[in-house]
Structure 1
Amino acid sequence: MPIERLDPRLDAIVEADADWEELGSGFGGPTGPAEGPVWIAEAGHLLFSDIHNSLRMRWHPDEGITVDKTGTKNGNGQTRDREGRLVVCHHFSRCVDREEADGSVTVIADKYRGMKLNRPNDVVVKSDGAVYFTDPPPKVPFTPPEHAPEIDCAGVYRVSPDGNRINMVVRDLINPNGLCFSPDEKILYVNDSNQYRKLIMAYNVEADGMLDLGSARLFCDMRGDPRMGGPDGMKVDVEGNVYCTGPGGIWILTPNGEHLGTILMEGRTSNMNWGDSDWRTLYFTGARSLNRIRLKIPGFPVPRGALAPSASS
């Protein structure tokens, strides 16, 4: 069965007999999978990254999958800001940038204290416009051999809403990867995909957007599951349930970190995002594929500042 049910509370989130649908395959390659799905509501299509081939792909229900952009410099995670502009993490150019309405590109972050970033991986934009992203260590073949690290750690960063300040808000993770906010944006979840850790951490967000590191706590530990996969992409629904790729597929966790069940998938699952007009379809990428499944509880719209649907609507 495609749904592994560990707790009856899962029935409120997904039908017991639900199945996911593959929309396309053949993406990615030795240096990276399909990644970074993001729904473009006004156009009714989904964008996602083909890291290995430096392509941004587009899926439309009437047109299928086509190439949206070439030469993305191994683009990975992507989201949208309050104005609907696409914000993208790039491995090869080691930056986070923003695509303006006129097609020009603005670099949001490429250095910290004068040192080049490692390889920005995933990104989320808070409703106030602040940009938070993960920056795991350089790693061949995700980055070229000549990309020697300049920063002595892997970090999680915050760029202020005005774009003038960049702060490292977490520095003690080995391989920070996916991240997402709780519905009220008072908690930031960040996972560590290092093969010996496989965990999700939770941090309280202070009024100025910084993280209270003293509040750091283990939210979920996936190390006890021997199946393929680990924490990577991560999202939250309007009721605060956390969805994170993990061993066996996509883990569904309560706001307290209880594992309710898993959307099962063979091989690696890399990232996910909600879409469709009611935000109840979870689109997710595998190592080589794009897929979707219908859920009962909607996720948060992108941009984050848009009005979120209710679970009862």
Structure 2
Amino acid sequence: MEGEFEIIDPVFQRYVLHNAKLEKLATGFRWTEGPVWFADAGALLFSDIPNNAIMRWIEGVGVSVYRSPSNYANGNTRDREGRLITCSHGQRAVVRTEQDGSLTVLCDRYNGKRLNSPNDVVVKSDGTVWFSDPHYGIKMDYEGGRAEQELPCNVYRFDPHTGRLDVMADDFGGPNGLAFSPDESRLYIADTGAFHDDNAERHIRVFDLEAEGRLKGGNVFHTVSPGAADGFRCDEDGNVWTSAADGVHCVSPEGRLLGKVRVPEMVANVTFGGRGRSRLFICASTSLYSIYLNRRGVQKP
């Protein structure tokens, strides 16, 4: 343990700045999730799901409400045009915020049946929108509203050019966070298990992306302990920075735990942002944290 960092593999020494301290940027939320960086606005957006709001943080300004009510927004990302893409528990949909601020529902049904509660989302370089759809938001009223489950817990790909929605993976108990490797040859997907199933599998799986856009493989990549991998992002070298109960864990492309950023609250999700995209923003239970690293996140619009 060295300051904010726990070094497990010596290579992790090169990724951290030992004079960089963990900063608490804001607190007083109920459950923070879905951080996304807007470099063109110098702002971070993130969800406070139980408070039914999307919040905005700006350096030197602090936190303000970006959207309330947010229809119990969870995961957020940006598309290739820089528009906000949001997973909505309340609408049971994936929603796009247009440049004029209006909202467009991209998808809320598959084969005529309602989605469960879209959770996390990423956009591939071809513009397709990939998202997980576990049942967490319809199993309780705290982060959405209890409702009948009409579909299995799948991972989907939505093509905004054609309007087509396809099931890409259907063998998860509770698919959650997901992220592409820097070259998009791999897709990492977390399985945090079925709701209230203490014996459920909780790990990150890795899939190869075939030329036709299909997923192949799905072996276990890494199992986080303590806690579970909820949300994660990749850096420029392909390392996976994932949430855990004791902070943020850095996992090599081979699935080896390299080190940890210690955080005093359970972490839900992370994203890279700031100058050079070398600042890791951390959504941890009731608070928003950040820390500077000696690695950059994968570039986005």
Query: Could you list the runs of 4 or more consecutive aligned residues of structure 1 that deviate by over 3 angstroms after TM superposition?
Result: none
Q: Give, as a single letter, the amino acid of the residue that structure 2 aligns with 1:39.
A: W
Pairing of 1:23-172 with structure 2 (within 5 A): 23-28=25-30, 33-137=31-135, 138-141=138-141, 142-145=143-146, 147-151=147-151, 153-172=152-171
Q: Deviations over 1:75-101 (max 9, x none)?
A: 010000000000000111100010111
Give me the identity figure in percent.
Answer: 40
Partners of 2:106 and 2:160 within 8 A in 1: no
TM-score with structure 1 setting the length: 0.90
Partners of 1:5 and 1:16 within 8 A in 2: no
Q: Give, as a single letter, the amino acid of the residue that structure 1 aligns with 2:92.
A: R
Q: Which residue of 2 aligns with 1:267?
A: 265
Secondary structure in 2 matching 1:269: coil
Q: Deviations over 1:278-304 (max 9, x none)?
A: 10000011111011000101002332x
Partners of 1:128 and 1:161 within 8 A in 2: no
Q: Matched residues in 2 for 1:5 and 1:198: separation?
A: 24
Partners of 2:207 and 2:219 within 8 A in 1: yes
Partners of 1:3 and 1:17 within 8 A in 2: no
Q: Which residue of 2 aligns with 1:11?
A: 13
5+ long unaligned stretches in structure 1: 304-313
Q: Deviations over 1:203-222 (max 9, x none)?
A: 0112232212xx22110023
> Which stretch of structure 1 is more off in the superposition, 187-196 or 167-176?
187-196
Q: Deviations over 1:10-55 (max 9, x none)?
A: 0111134543100000012xxxx11111111111111111111111
5+ long unaligned stretches in structure 2: none
Residue 262 of structure 1: CA displacement?
Answer: 1.1
Q: Which residue of 2 aligns with 1:306?
A: none
Residue 193 of structure 1: CA displacement?
Answer: 1.3
Q: Matched residues in 2 for 1:198 and 1:14: separation?
A: 27
Partners of 1:90 and 1:120 within 8 A in 2: yes
Q: Which residue of 2 aligns with 1:310?
A: none
Q: Does 1:204 align with 2:205?
A: no
Partners of 2:245 and 2:265 within 8 A in 1: no
How many residue pairs align between the two structures?
Answer: 291
Partners of 1:95 and 1:110 within 8 A in 2: yes
Q: Which residue of 2 aligns with 1:302?
A: 300
Q: Matched residues in 2 for 1:200 and 1:192: separation?
A: 6
Partners of 1:3 and 1:18 within 8 A in 2: no
Residue 7 of structure 1: CA displacement?
Answer: 0.7
Superposed CA RMSD in Å reads 1.3
Q: Give, as a single letter, the amino acid of the residue that structure 1 aligns with 2:204.
A: I
Pairing of 1:172-211 with structure 2 (within 5 A): 172-194=171-193, 196-211=200-215
TM-score with structure 2 setting the length: 0.93
